[in-house]
Amino acid sequence: MKCALSFQTYFAAFALLGLSDVALAQSSESSDTGVQLEWNARLRHEQVDNAAYSPHAYADTLRLRLGIRSQIGYGWSYFIEGAGTVSAGNHYNSGANGQTQYPSITDPKGAELNQAWLAWQGDTASAKVGRQEMTLDNQRWIGTAPWRQFEQTFDAVALQWKPAANWILSYDWINRVNRVAGPDAINPLARQRDLNTHLLHAAWGHGRQQVVGYAYLHKDKDVATASTATYGVRWTGKPAADGGFGWSVEGARQYDYANNPLGFAHNYWLVEPSWTQWGITGKLGWEFLGGNNRTALQTPLASLHAFNGWNDQFTVTPVAGLQDYYATLNGPLGTTGVARRFAWTVTYHEFRSDRGNARYGSEWDASLSYVLMPGLNALLKAADYRADQWGRDDTKLWLQLEWTGKQPL
């Protein structure tokens, strides 16, 4: 595959945005009161080589999110943020440009209101209403899908209460999800969904451990077969400051719910032990999403790119279910000098079905990131999926620069 943009082009584009040492120094400052400007600019080149298509896809996109945050006193605050994406061409299927002869890269050009919320924060309780980001735990069930240029946001009411030092209780009601395909997607169901979803979440922490219980009652008014009720428990442990053993263990049960005409009950399991030494973390994992050859456990409000491989072969769980066996290593290149600005990750996945234990395929993922200066990060990332009984061979490559900052006004 041929890279359409060089790193020199990336740096030139950010220079045109007015990037300077002074601006970056200012962006690291924060303000606890008053009004603050916040921004996130991301320039990305993405390439896709899929065996099902003769032309390769490549997308050169620039995303800018710009917002105003204000503390208005007595614990009240508000945030308004717009998002816009431009594209250098149409050599990919964005979901909005009709270029179906190319593989899909869901980064359409366009603009939208990304967030607009009013919040109150007290000593032990908080509330937020409006269009907002929403994440729970590791974002397996609820997340912002931050990898795509348009993120996933929610029109929602979020309530939180801290009755004791070790407890956090939350309740969220979601009226609508605004999806990553953007406001101009050809399929209206890819733009947004009307919901009546209730999220109940209780977290208890002690030292390096946390135990979470949840009930996610998800009603999709637009797609009845997507309505589910999920009940689960999650137990995590962080390694000590000098390294050592860590873990994530989770189990859940998902049922048909509300207006869903289907009947099912599926299991979810996650077992992920890890070990950290000299700044390098190794993980072994097994994630199980049950299926019965008619329906399967789904997580439609998740940050899906973070799970089951960066190639995104399994954003919808196959009806025979999915088992993901994986091993990953990550850490810095070094502990001193320039080397500690680099961070790397390598992961291998083996994908199998629940029913029949059929081998779907395997995948290698790798990334290398570099902190150029505070607020400015570069990323090189690749995913290579080799198909057996699911999908087609697919290779993806990303080159990215991202600039984030904030400035009191």
Rounded CA gap, 124 and 12, in Å? 47
- Tell me the pLDDT tens digit for each residue of 380-405: 999 999 999 999 999 999 999 999 99
Rounded CA gap, 29 and 241, in Å? 27
Residues 248-280: b if buried by 16+ CB within 10 A, e if exposed = bebebebebbeebeeebebbbebebebebeeee
pLDDT at 228: 98
Name every residue whose Cβ is closer than 8 Å to that of residue 262 and which is 6 or more positions away in sequence: 225, 256, 294, 295
Q: How many CA atoms lie within 13 A of 157 on its CB side?
A: 6
Q: What is the separation, in whole angstroms, between the first and last Cα of the chain?
A: 45
Q: Hey, what are 7's tokens?
A: 């790193």
Which of the four CATH numbers 2.40.160.10, 1.10.1660.10, 1.25.40.10, 3.40.720.10 does domain 7-408 have? 2.40.160.10
Tell me the whole-structure pTM to 2 decimals. Answer: 0.91
Nearest-5° Cα angle at 137, 169 to 162: 20
For residues 395 and 364, the answer to whether their CB atoms sit within 8 Å is: no
pLDDT at 193: 98
CA separation, residue 365 to residues 37, 38, 324, 348, 355 (Å): 35, 32, 14, 6, 26
pLDDT at 16: 34
pLDDT at 17: 38
Q: Under DSSP, is residue 97 helix (H, G, I), strand (E, B) or coil? A: coil
Rounded CA gap, 116 and 80, in Å? 4
Q: Hey, what are 185's tokens?
A: 């997607």
Residue with tokens 């199980």: 288
Beta-ladder partners of 66: 39, 82
Name every residue whose Cβ is closer than 8 Å to that of residue 8 and which is 6 or more positions away in sequence: none
pLDDT one digit per residue (tens) for the chain, 409 residues: 444 443 333 333 333 333 333 333 333 344 456 999 999 999 999 999 999 999 999 999 999 999 999 999 999 999 999 999 999 999 999 999 999 999 999 999 999 999 999 999 999 999 999 999 999 999 999 999 999 999 999 999 999 999 999 999 999 999 999 999 999 999 999 999 999 999 999 999 999 999 999 999 999 999 999 999 999 999 999 999 899 999 999 999 999 999 999 999 999 999 999 999 999 999 999 999 999 999 999 999 999 999 999 999 999 999 999 999 999 999 999 988 899 999 999 999 999 999 999 999 999 999 999 999 999 999 999 999 999 999 999 999 999 999 999 999 9
Name every residue whose Cβ is closer than 8 Å to that of residue 205 and which is 6 or more positions away in sequence: 166, 211
With DSSP H G I counted as helix, E B as strand and the rest as coil, what are the percentages for the chain, rounded to 5?
A: 10, 55, 35
Rounded CA gap, 94 and 109, in Å? 8
Name every residue whose Cβ is closer than 8 Å to that of residue 207 and which is 6 or more positions away in sequence: none
* Residues found in the chain: 409
Report DSSP state, residue 226. G
Rounded CA gap, 31 and 33, in Å? 6
Name every residue whose Cβ is closer than 8 Å to that of residue 147 and which is 6 or more positions away in sequence: 303, 305, 306
How do beta strands 153-161 and 167-178 pair?
A: antiparallel
pLDDT at 32: 53
